[in-house]
Structure formats: structure tokens, C-alpha cells
Amino acid sequence: MTHATWEIQVDQTDSEAWSQLLEQFDDASIYQTAAYGEVRWGKKNLSRIVLKRGGEVVGIAQLRTIRPTPLKCGIAYLRWGPLWERRGHALDMEVPARLASAIEEEYSKRRNLFVRILPNAFAGSGRAEVFRAAFSQFAFESSESHEVYRTFVVDLAPSLEELRKGLDKKWRNQLTRSEKNSLTVISGRGRAEFRAFCEMYAQMLKRKIFETTVNIEEFERIQEQLPVSQRMHILICQSQGVPVAGLVASAMGNSAIYLLGATSDTGLNAKGAYLLQWTILSHFKQSGIRFYDLGGIDPEENPGVYHFKKGMSGADVCQIRPLVASNSALSAAMVKVALGMQRTIRASRRPFNLTRGFRRPAVIS
């Protein structure tokens, strides 16, 4: 009996090839796209690792690497990866385990970087258990050193009728009201739709005066660089031809995530946000998407958005803590100082918030 040969390739995959590889994985997300990494972090700061078995790609990961000084220290940051759930294949536990070993060997041991992995997994899920088993040599980061990503995830397996019945009664009533308001919804993935959304987003920022780390221009550049099949979905709700609300969401693999929403000054009473969410949810359901992540919640800092998302009756879940590994005391110390400074800066900003706006948008790392 012959055994398949395992092979690790590091930094041998260009952007186009990487985009093609992503199409093979059910656990893919916008955070692992070449466009997101190159726009958000810079092409020179990306590193890609590919695991093959018998010449066939079975796992991949795109990491951001940072070396702030000439010294041999820094961080390798992996957001919502690695990917190993291949479409149409049963999960092989040996694949994530070998990916974990490869990541530790390349970035922690060979490059002396502090490795920090923000997994695409929620506590209590089967995916979380796979991470725990495969990355047993990694440690969980202390709860004090990061902000937990908490969100609602809607399971789209039930029929649309069942999903609508499952909505909170008040939310469903608002949806019905929006459907009677003579609103129309247009969708697209092009520049025109994105610019229309940006105009409403700018109005919302001016009206609410909340702090945000979202750079809408970055999203526009990411959208332009993404392959057509991976571009974000943009929905614009109109009243008599005038945009009143907008939504941006991404769907890859078997999951979708709500990224951005905005309401224009003239659309506050149109209830367009309800119609948009139901429209995109229905589209994802019909497209075969299984899970819809509503993009992060914060009941204390943003109770309005929390109650809106809660009305869609998704499961209230928290991302598992980041996984870390380090073979360099210098890199570990540097990261500890950087995270401490980051927490101090965030804490100092909170008392000056003029409204209870987004503190930590889901899309920003």
C-alpha cells in the first residue's frame, strides 16, 4: 500500500492562483481573499502557505507578517483561517493537524515570529472542536488581551416560510410595513452601486457622529480587485427612485457575512433596512448558502443595532479565543506591549464617543 506524499509550499502562489484556490473551500471568507489582504495589509506583507497531498491542494492560509524593527522579531497574523473544508469532500482531521504544524514550523520556528490565529470558528461548534484538536500545540490567548467577536448567525437550512415565521414578531411587522412602502431593491457588484452606498454611508456618519475604524474607500478598492465571483453583494433600497438604505455583504463557501449598512437622511422612516436584510437573506438561502453571520454585535456600545439584529432570530455566538504560538521571547514581548498600547488607546477613546456607535466593526482586524 502506497501513502500519499505531503508537500508544503510557501509564498509560491500569486493573487490569481490564490483566488482560484479559494473557490475550492467551504470555509473560505472575504478575509482570506487576495484583494482583502493586499488592500488592507499591503502585498509585501502577505505570506501564503499551501498544503498538498499527492499533488492535490487540501489546505491553505494567507497570513499578514509584520517586522517593525531590523531585529529578528515580529508577528504573523492569520485572520479566519486556515482553510481546510474542501467542497464536496469529507473532513480529514489529518489535514488541519498538518496545517497547524506547517504554520508553526514556518512562522514561529523558522521566522521567529509570534503567530496569532483568529479562527473562523464559534464556541460550541464542530469547527471549534476541530481547531482545538488540530492546534493542540498552540495556546489560547488570554481573554484580557483581545475583544471577543460576538454575533448572531442565522441558519438558512429551514424554508423561507419557516425563516420568516421565526423572525421576532416586531421585526416581522416592520418588514411587512416596509413591503407596503412602495420600495424597490436593486442589487449589483459594480462601482455605481458602491458609490450609491458610499453616499448614504457618508450621510449616516455625519448624522450619527460615531467613531469607526471602517475605511469605506478600502472596501471600494477591495471590491474592484476581487474576482467577479468573490465580489461583495451591494443592495440599494429606493423610494421613488431615490436611495434610502443600503447593504453590503459577502458570500463565500457555505457562509455569508453582513459587512456594512447605511440609511440616508431621507430614509429614516422607510424601514428599508428590514426589506434589505430579508432580501439578501432570501437570496443567500436560494443560492445554497447555509449560514448568515450578521456582522457583530455589542449590546452595551450599540444597543440599537443589537436589537435590530436580534430580531432576525439567529444564534447568539462568540468567536473562540485567538490561538498563539511563539518561539521567540522578543517577538512575544513586542506583541504584548503592542496589544497593551492598543487596549489603552481604545479605552481612552470611549469616553469621548458622542453616540453609542460601532466600537469594533466586524470587518476590521
**DSSP letters spanning 65-128:** EE--SSSS--EEEEES--B--BTTS---THHHHHHHHHHIIIIIIIS-PEEEEE-S-BTTSHHH
Per-residue pLDDT tens listing for the chain (365 residues): 457 799 999 999 999 999 999 999 999 999 999 999 999 999 999 999 999 999 999 999 999 999 876 767 789 999 999 999 999 999 899 999 999 999 999 999 999 999 999 999 999 999 999 999 999 999 988 766 557 899 999 999 999 999 999 999 999 999 999 999 889 999 998 888 898 898 888 888 877 765 566 788 899 999 999 999 999 999 999 998 889 999 999 999 999 999 999 888 777 778 899 999 999 999 999 999 999 999 999 998 889 999 999 999 999 999 999 999 987 555 556 566 556 555 544 545 444 333 233 333 443 33
Is 358 within a domain?
no
Is 1 within a domain?
no
**Angle made by CA atoms 110, 115, 119, in degrees to the nearest 5:** 135
Sequence-distant (6+) residues with CB within 8 A of 18 are 33, 34, 48, 60, 62
Q: What is the pLDDT of residue 338?
A: 59
Residue at 179: amino acid letter: E
DSSP one-letter string for 205-222:
HHHH-------HHHHHHH
Q: What is the pLDDT of residue 142?
A: 77
Q: Are residues 296 and 338 in the same domain?
A: no
Distance CA 209, CA 131 (A): 39
Q: What is the pLDDT of residue 337?
A: 56
Q: What is the pLDDT of residue 363?
A: 39
Q: What is the DSSP letter of 302?
A: -
Q: Are residues 159 and 308 in the same domain?
A: yes
Is 362 within a domain?
no
Give the distance, in angstroms, between the CA of residue 123 and the centroid of all CA atoms in the same chain: 16
Q: What is the pLDDT of residue 146?
A: 59
Which DSSP helix (H) or strand (E) runs through 308? helix 303-310
Q: Are residues 283 and 344 in the same domain?
A: no
The pLDDT tens digits of the residues spanning 104-136 come to: 999 999 999 999 999 999 999 999 999 999 999
Is 333 within a domain?
yes
Residue 251 sits in a domain whose CATH number is: 3.40.630.30
Q: What is the pLDDT of residue 204?
A: 84
Q: Are residues 244 and 184 in the same domain?
A: yes
The closest alpha carbon to 29, from 262, 365, 313, belongs to 365
Q: How far is CA 319 from CA 79, 120, 131, 281, in A?
A: 12, 7, 12, 22
Q: Are residues 268 and 342 in the same domain?
A: no
The closest alpha carbon to 272, from 237, 242, 307, belongs to 237
Range of the domain at 84: 6-148+319-352
Q: What is the pLDDT of residue 209?
A: 63
Distance CA 91, CA 97 (A): 12
Sequence-distant (6+) residues with CB within 8 A of 260 are 197, 201, 214, 216, 219, 246, 247, 248, 363
Is 267 within a domain?
yes
Sequence-distant (6+) residues with CB within 8 A of 357 are 208, 209, 210, 211, 212, 301, 302
Q: Are residues 297 and 164 in the same domain?
A: yes
Residue corresponding to grid cell 511563539: 326
Q: How many alpha carbons fall within 13 Å on the CB side of residue 168?
A: 14
Give the 3-state secondary structure of 6-35.
EEEEECCCCHHHHHHHHCCECCCCHHHCHH
Is 169 within a domain?
yes
Distance CA 213, CA 260 (A): 12
Sequence-distant (6+) residues with CB within 8 A of 261 are 245, 246, 247, 248, 273, 276
Q: Are residues 52 and 82 in the same domain?
A: yes
Q: Are residues 222 and 281 in the same domain?
A: yes
Is 184 within a domain?
yes
Please tell me the total count of domains within the chain.
Answer: 2
Q: Are residues 221 and 293 in the same domain?
A: yes
Q: Are residues 161 and 243 in the same domain?
A: yes
Question: Which cell goes with 153?
Answer: 448567525
Q: Are residues 120 and 192 in the same domain?
A: no
Question: Which cell goes with 190?
Answer: 459594480
Is 363 within a domain?
no
Q: Are residues 310 and 238 in the same domain?
A: yes
